[in-house]
Structure 1
Amino acid sequence: MTARLVAAALTALVVGGCGDVVTGTATWPGARLRNVLLTAADFPAGVRYDRLVEQPGAPDGAGGPPSMLSTPEGCSDGFTRVIAASAERGAGSAAKYSVSYDGARIVVTVLSWQLDLDGITATAQRCARYETFFDRSMPGIPMTTTRLATDRPGALVYEQTMQLGVERTSVYSSFENVDGMAVFAVAFPTPDPAVPVRATLPQTFLDIVGNQANRVARR
């Protein structure tokens, strides 16, 4: 497996497994979303912060790579399917931003509605071990989904690990309902020497999603 294929697989997992699931520009109740969202001032100087604005009416995952095939079926985009099944769409439904460190890119979405955490849990259990494919003519890539311990009892945090020979590469996802809203986020390893702040996964990811959930709870 080449480095290019590894990068493509990780991108497909991030976008297909926990990607764009809501659309719309923030109006009411977007005012509360804007109020609870972390901003660039909440991160160390040098971290690259970008607000991500979806195109109204665009389908889920528009512009990204297609979901990869998997055995069992539906594991490569299982979390997205659960989120999309109960999503409240349209203006004011969500706000999203990304933060980039040397070592990680983290995308955080705050929702004005709540996630189906039971569905997320069931999907993680069903897909604890699976194989994913670019196409069926290629060997499957072994994947595992493991829940991580967190000091936030209501949060579901998972590590999805790709095993390529002796190399292991992980992406991280977090899901939490907070005060009638929800926070979900995804992180994947991205070296970027141009960013002067180094991330350590999963700790930097856990710190960010915890800070975001606390901001929602306080406001």
Structure 2
Amino acid sequence: MLNSLIFDADGVLMDSMPCHADAWVHTFSEVGIDIVRQDIYDIEGSNHVGVIKLIFKKAGREADPEIIEKLRVRKRELFLKKKNIDPFDGMYNLLKKLKNDFHLAVVSGSDRPIVDSMINEFYPDIFEVTISGADVNNGKPDPEPYLKAMEILKVKKENCLVIENAPLGVDSAKNAGIYCVAVPTYVDAEKLKRADQIIQDHKQLIEFLSDIESPR
């Protein structure tokens, strides 16, 4: 029986990816790599280390640990300085109700200070568990982030539902063996085809979650 709902943060709970992408675009430009927002949307879900390695690889360059740390810190600084984000309408009130019947968790690829700042501002006292990109050795699409959330919640994969919006996030959930519902916030739905179910937008997502049968 379904008893646990695990949410990605950026693009599912908050309309925050444009702000993330702009911070990355600026950060990479400082080391001579030119990208656009869509380059980040396509690899959304990966943690900061993963994003840097993927973008450097695409540029034909290699990122050593020193440059990875430098860029990770710089991106976080830019994001927190220019943060201009909002939660998706209706999500907080819905989750406040679902909290009475389900275990709720967040699994994000973002750094801990970024995740905490958003969750504390927009979803206070909602989630039992928050996993950031810095809490795992292997970020999405590896299953580790979702497996870690289940371990802390002490629940089984057959009792969980993941809500994602990014290709690497969907891969992570499916690699962990969890049923995954995806909403194409920033990418074409075709890129989310590995999800068990694709929902058109957040209005339909709220309707879907509102209709989930309570386990209690």
Same fold (TM over 0.5): no
Select the structure that is richer in helix: 2
Structure 2 length-normalised TM: 0.29
The alignment's TM-score, normalised by the length of structure 1, stands at 0.29
Question: More relative contact order in 1 or in 2 (CA 8 Å, sep 6+)?
Answer: 2
Determine which structure has the larger strand proportion and give its number.
Answer: 1
